[in-house]
Amino acid sequence: MRRSSILFYFLGTVGLAGLLGGCGSGGGGASPGTGVASGSAAASGIITGFGSVFVNGKKFETSKASFIVDDQPGSQNDLKLGMMVEVRGSFSGNDRSASSVRQKDAVEGLVQLVAADGLSLVVLGQLVQLDSSTRIDDSIDSTLPKENRDIRKLIAGTDSVEVNGFIKPDGVIQATFIEKKAVGTVTPEVRGFVNNHNDGAKTFQIGNLTVDYKTANIGDMPNPAGNSWNGLLIEAKGTNFTPGPNVQTQGTLVATMVEPENPAVGDSDEFEIEGFVKQVLGPGDFFIGNTHVQTTSATEFRGGMIDEIVLGTKLSAEGRLTNGVLTAKEVKFEDSVKLEGNIAEINLVSKTFTITGLPGVTVSVNSQTELKANGGNTIIDLNDLLVGDHVRVRSRVGGSTSVLATRVEQRSAGDDVDLQGPVQAPSNPTLTILGVAVDTSGIADANFKGLDDGTIGRAAFFNAVKVGTLVKMNGRLSGSVVTWREAELEDGR
């Protein structure tokens, strides 16, 4: 983990001072990281645990909270792991208490298509993708344990579902939770980015869905003149959905309400949001959904660096929210496993490849992997990569020696090799990461780094490393052998 040392030119000295000096919310103060003991707290993300409610891994006591689930008053018993929620409340020290919890789905409506491989479906004109972390409710398949449940039990054109998940910049929904809805309980609704807005016709598109808002309540939306809504993240609800000419992917929703999708939390001393980067304005200045995030020289980056904040990166950001701007105390990269090196082998059948110098590590690529070319090249799939290409991979652990790539970036030719991941076995001078036995005996004492990028030496480094500790190794390739040159502790919390 490193701290950014950049004071961003686009803020300017006066702008930065104004931003930091004017970010009070009028409550009890800032988050614990700023030295104030209490204040307002809020979060937007997925439910990761119960015993109260954990959002993005943080516990909120809920004994005095109200709940809104499916836009109706509910209780904590109506919530399930993987659901998306917005929480409002307060903190005192390290304790957080919720005053309200609101569940928010990404799309609810008719299933139009279920992919033959069970990894995606189309709901209300929206492409929904699944991965190994997607939770499938027993309303879809109660005969199998949750890790083996299959969306291919759904019947396209008949069944309706509710999908909770993150919305990517291209409008694809990365599902975190899917449940089947009973007949008569479905309210067609969708959250997504507006395209092809035409105020003359009173229509726009979200994915392959056309939204007709002639009779909708749009009171909170900006002036609709021309195509001014294009790019906005909004929510549209209606009562009448009609499949389009291609009944598997298209359709029209007659909307009763259209409203901007902003965190309904107001200013907050401590606020955390998780999602995909929608827009980058400059180094450390970006949007997650409609939330504007700005970093400062004091921002801590966990699991990645400031120059890795690009369109489509999945992040969580935590800090103070004032007037819609989140001044980040911490930015965490959600996919913290990173590899870099030259491609050794490509298997087009299994959609995998390996990297020279990292024996045994298999990188899997699927339809959700972002592929980025170097220079004027075009990369659509693995067919466009060659053995010997130098690549940088961001991924998450798939198994003891395998990773699931979220991003593969083709780079200029080089002999650098990076291996970042959780340690499986530490035994000085060897670290095992993703099954690779890394011999650190050739690394100079000055090249063992701590969380602040400062030198800590071999003894302190190995004292700090435990099973599960996130470590980044950097080396140089000679033939098929890596000479490791630097070891650095990373904070993937």
Distance CA 352, CA 447 (A): 33
Distance CA 142, CA 311 (A): 38
Give pLDDT, residue 351: 94
Average pLDDT on 47-63 reads 93
Instruction: Report the SS3 class of residue 19.
Output: helix
Q: What is the mean pLDDT of the chain?
A: 87
Distance CA 75, CA 81 (A): 14
Q: Are strands 416-427 and 436-439 parallel, antiparallel or unpaired?
A: unpaired
> Confidence band (pLDDT; 50, 70, 90) for 263?
low
Q: Are strands 370-372 and 390-399 parallel, antiparallel or unpaired?
A: unpaired
Question: Minimum mean pLDDT among 55-69, 256-270, 286-300, 310-324: which range?
Answer: 256-270
> Confidence band (pLDDT; 50, 70, 90) for 264?
low
CATH topology of domain 1-26+267-333: OB fold (Dihydrolipoamide Acetyltransferase, E2P) (2.40.50)
Domains of the chain: which residue ranges?
Answer: 1-26+267-333, 30-102, 105-265, 337-414, 417-490
Q: Which residues of 151-190 are buried (b: 16+ CB within 10 A; e: fewer)?
A: bebbeeeebbbbbbbbbbbebbbbbbbbbbbeeeebbbbb
> Confidence band (pLDDT; 50, 70, 90) for 33?
very low
Instruction: Report the SS3 class of residue 215.
Output: coil
Distance CA 190, CA 71 (A): 13
Longest dimension (CA), the chain: 71
Distance CA 206, CA 387 (A): 39
- Reply yes or no on domain 337-414 having CATH 2.40.50.320: yes
Number of other residues whose CB lies within 10 A of the CB of residue 197: 21
Average pLDDT on 390-414 reads 88
Average pLDDT on 26-47 reads 68
pLDDT at 20 over 90: no
Give pLDDT, residue 12: 33
pLDDT at 4 over 50: no
Average pLDDT on 177-190 reads 93
pLDDT at 493 over 70: no
> Confidence band (pLDDT; 50, 70, 90) for 452?
confident
Instruction: Report the SS3 class of residue 223.
Output: coil
The more confidently predicted of residues 295 and 260 is: 295
Q: Do the Cβ atoms of 182 and 161 come closer than 8 Å?
A: no
Residue pLDDT, tens place only, 211-247: 999 999 998 899 999 888 998 999 999 988 999 999 9
Q: Which helix (H) or strand (E) holds 433?
A: strand 430-433
Which residues sit opposite 233 in a β-bridge?
193
Give pLDDT, residue 267: 86
Its pTM stands at: 0.72
- Tokens standing for residue 325: 């701007």
- Reply yes or no on domain 417-490 having CATH 2.40.50: yes
Alpha-carbon torsion (104, 184, 172, 261), positive or negative: negative
Give pLDDT, residue 8: 31
Q: Which helix (H) or strand (E) holds 111?
A: strand 107-114
The more confidently predicted of residues 266 and 263 is: 266
Closest CA to 172 of 159, 188, 154, 191: 191
Distance CA 184, CA 219 (A): 28
Average pLDDT on 163-173 reads 90
> Confidence band (pLDDT; 50, 70, 90) for 167?
very high
Question: Is 337-414's fold the same as 417-490's?
Answer: yes
Closest CA to 99 of 148, 64, 54, 124: 64
Average pLDDT on 280-301 reads 93
Give pLDDT, residue 166: 93
Query: What residues contact residue 3 under an 8 Å CB cut-off, 6+ apart?
Result: 297, 298, 299, 300, 301, 452, 453
Q: Do the Cβ atoms of 21 and 13 come closer than 8 Å?
A: no
Distance CA 335, CA 341 (A): 18
Give pLDDT, residue 18: 33
Residue pLDDT, tens place only, 317-367: 999 999 889 999 999 887 778 999 999 999 999 999 999 999 999 999 987
